[in-house]
Chain A
Amino acid sequence: MSRLLAPRNRFNLIAGFVGLVAFFVIPNVTDTFQTFEWAQVAAYAAAIIGLNVLTGYSGQISLGNGAFMAVGSYTTALMTTRLGVPYPVTIPIGALLAFVIGILVGIPALRLRGIYLALATFALALTVTPVLNNFDKFTGGHVGISLKPIHPAFGLPLSNEQWLYFFDWSLVLIVFVPAWLLIRSRTGRAWMAIRDSETAAVANGISLAYYKTLAFGVSAACAGVAGSLLVINIQYAQPDAFSLNLSLQLLIGVVIGGLAYVWGPILGASLAVWLPFFAERALGAKPDIGFGLFLIAVVFFAPNGLAGLIQRVTLRLHRPEGGVVAIPGVMEATPAEADQITT
């Protein structure tokens, strides 16, 4: 019990409680547009959870995770329209296909690091739209594929948007829990070891090839689920939806949410969806300028993202003695890791 009341856990408990209340309040107080946008946040959250595994924990930069979303999207779109398979069945299949493709991308990525991996995944992101357009006999090309709207199951008294909201967020939970367990396991520790020093990781008997490709696969599987949710939400799959912008939104989401923070992806996804919307309202025109400035401001003032900022503020509040968390022998630890070590 005293462990539960340690500052970090008390913070997590409060945050979890507030989050849970907000989760049930949101679809009841928002209009249909807002409820729908919160369902979109869920789709982005699933993808960003995956990117957090890849970039936050295993330390591999990807500017191309939108490509894996396209795999999930088109699996769902094609299976439901061509074969009449119900939506929920297509989601694990899309995730599995995305996992396999993620592994296939992860293998050449093993030999690329830093800037080269960023460039190669940047090219991957740009490749998706033209490839989907090229195989138009299979994908429907520019015209895209229209899907049937999803209706509340079990005769629940919900609007379509409310149902989408709960449906999407339950899938986020299904993605989140295994990802979280994986991060806390031996695998997660191996990823972090690789991220912090590949040489030290190898010296300790960690297989770089296995863990780095696995991170790509897991990340792609999450993105695959996200892709399925995206087309179920908008009932339409089209090549232009998988432009570079989508991949960049994911990367921006994971960074401003907070890399290597468990709750970072949820915060990041909310911002990735809502920030352009508010920027557009505030500035009237295209939101790009405000968005770019905000991005640079976040990496400058909150290098650990919003999750890092929130944690720093609350830890300060909870520790009357104040000061920085001192970790002997660990020079570069994020506050999240510092806390794991101290508690």
Chain B
Amino acid sequence: MSRCAAHTWATEGAPELIELAAQGFLPSFLQQMISGAAAGAVFASLALALVLIYRAMDIANFAQGEMAMFGTFIAYALITGDFGLIGTKLGFLQVHLPFWAAFALAVIVSFALGVLIERVLIRPFEGAPLLTLVIVTLGLFSIVNGTAGLNWGYVFKTFYSPFPSDAFEVGGIFIGKQDVGIIVVTLVVLAIVFVFFRYTRLGLAMRAAALYPEASRLLGVRTSWMLALGWGLAAAVGAVSGMMVAPIVFLDPNMMQSVLLFAFAAAVLGGIESPLGAVVGGIAIGILLALVGTYVPGGQNLRVPFGLLVMVGVLLVRPAGLFGHIEARRV
């Protein structure tokens, strides 16, 4: 479960930044904040995916990270032409797409897979008890992880970054272009999700179906399909997080597992129903982890426990998170 690359990444930043960081407290502090924010942006997009599914059907999707990992493998295959076992068996698809074309295709394929998963595996369990749904998403976790492992193997693969590896220099502070790129991509994704839900009929229908399923059905919204779209959308958003993190932690079937924990912590911190909260929470957690990893002795090992502390702390002090609203229960 523990994965060294993912654990150390946020605190170390891009490799070339490490040497640059040794120049006094304030510049190094600010650089930690920025590379932390980039790590946080990855948590944020996965947290956003979790929130989308939570809003649609009140469950935590433990397979979200694995679905993101699978989407990343699809992009990897489209870029390198390495389709793994299926590729060698069938001997076709010698494609070598540029990064952004593969990125777009992987997002679309992830969307389709998300819809398919909802239709085939989740739909039979609509309205089932919480524990059943937890078990189903854990089963899905195993299936997706095993499928990727069977097809591509468990050897770490290089996933090239679309961003240059050098840094901007602003007043003595070095800002990695990769970090900036990750943050920008995340903000663009958030903006698209926001516009979709706020300004399109379909987005409105999805919100209605999540909030008032009965009334929406009476008004002609196909609520069951709205859930499937929610899964598709979440899978697409999650895939973005996978493709952003893969150049840094290397690609393998287990790469998203620690990211998933921090994404959960981010979703809880932001308020598990709030998409904006997920993004703010993700970036906050990224920055906090970078600072803990740098300035707390033994902080490298304590990143995961710190995620637990944040999660439990938030739930005890302010269960609704930063942006959620307090739920009144009728008894």
A residues sitting closer than 8 Å to B (CB atoms) are 55, 61, 63, 108, 111-112, 114-116, 118-120, 122-124, 126-127, 129-131, 133-134, 199, 240, 243-245, 248, 251-252, 255, 259, 285-293, 295-296, 299-300, 303
Contacts and interface: CB of A to CB of B under 8 A. Distances in A.
Interface stretch (B96-104, B164-172, B233-241, B312-320): B312-320
A-B CB proximity, top 6 nearest: A288-B146, A292-B142, A134-B301, A292-B143, A289-B146, A295-B139
Nearest to B144: A292
A130 B302 contact: yes
B191 interface: no
* Majority DSSP secondary structure for residues of B touching A: helix
A140 B62 CA distance: 31
Contacts of B219: none
A301 to B, nearest CB: 10
A123 B150 contact: no
Interface in B290-331: 298, 301-305, 307-308, 311-312, 315-316, 319, 331
B141 interface: yes
Contacts of A123: 261, 264-265, 304, 307-308, 311-312
A243 B272 CA distance: 26
B1 A243 contact: yes
Given A289-B142, A303-B132, A116 B319 contact: yes
Nearest to B62: A122
Interface string B120-144: 0100110010111011101111110
A168 to B, nearest CB: 26
Nearest to B85: A285
Q: Which one of A63, A115, A119, A245 has the highest number of Cβ atoms from chain B below 10 Å of its Cβ? A: A119
A296 B140 contact: yes
A292 B2 contact: no
Q: Which one of B1, B60, B303 has the highest number of Cβ atoms from chain A below 10 Å of its Cβ? A: B1
Contacts of A299: 125, 128, 132, 135-136, 139
B132 A243 contact: no
A292 B146 contact: yes
Contacts of B302: 130-131, 134
B145 interface: yes
A291 B135 CA distance: 12
B146 A120 contact: no
A126 B1 contact: yes
Interface of B: 1-2, 7, 54, 58-60, 62, 121, 124-125, 128, 130-132, 134-136, 138-143, 145-147, 149-150, 257-258, 261, 264-265, 268, 272, 298, 301-305, 307-308, 311-312, 315-316, 319, 331
A114 B307 CA distance: 19
A116 B268 CA distance: 8
Contacts of A286: 146, 149-150
Contacts of A134: 298, 301-302
Contacts of A112: 315, 319
Contacts of B135: 251-252, 255, 295-296, 299
Contact of A285 (B136, B150, B258): B150
Nearest to A291: B142
A303 to B, nearest CB: 7
A46 B61 CA distance: 29
B62 A300 contact: no
Contacts of A290: 146
B149 A292 contact: no
A199 B330 CA distance: 10
Contact of A119 (B2, B141, B311): B311
A118 B136 CA distance: 14
Contacts of B130: 61, 114-115, 118
A126 B258 contact: yes
A116 B58 CA distance: 11
Contacts of A115: 54, 58-60, 130, 272
Given A108-B316, A288-B149, 15 more contacts: A114-B130, A115-B54, A116-B319, A123-B308, A126-B1, A127-B308, A130-B7, A130-B305, A133-B301, A244-B257, A252-B135, A255-B131, A259-B131, A292-B146, A299-B125
Nearest to B303: A130
Contacts of A55: 131
Contacts of B128: 299, 303
Contacts of B58: 115
A289 to B, nearest CB: 4
A72 B67 CA distance: 35
Given A130-B302, A134-B298, A293 B143 contact: yes
Nearest to B265: A123
6 contacts: A116-B315, A126-B308, A130-B301, A130-B305, A293-B139, A300-B125
A108 to B, nearest CB: 6
A116 B124 CA distance: 24
Nearest to A110: B316
B105 to A, nearest CB: 25
B261 A126 contact: yes
A289 B150 CA distance: 9
A122 B134 CA distance: 11
A134 B300 CA distance: 9
B141 A292 contact: yes
A340 B67 CA distance: 43
B117 to A, nearest CB: 11
B140 A131 contact: no
Given A119-B60, A289-B147, A248 B138 contact: yes
A188 to B, nearest CB: 19
Given A123-B261, A293-B139, A108 B2 contact: no
Contacts of B304: 123, 126-127, 130
A123 B263 CA distance: 11
A118 B60 contact: yes
A55 B129 CA distance: 13
Contact of B134 (A61, A131, A291): A61
B240 to A, nearest CB: 22
B132 to A, nearest CB: 5
Contacts of B303: 130
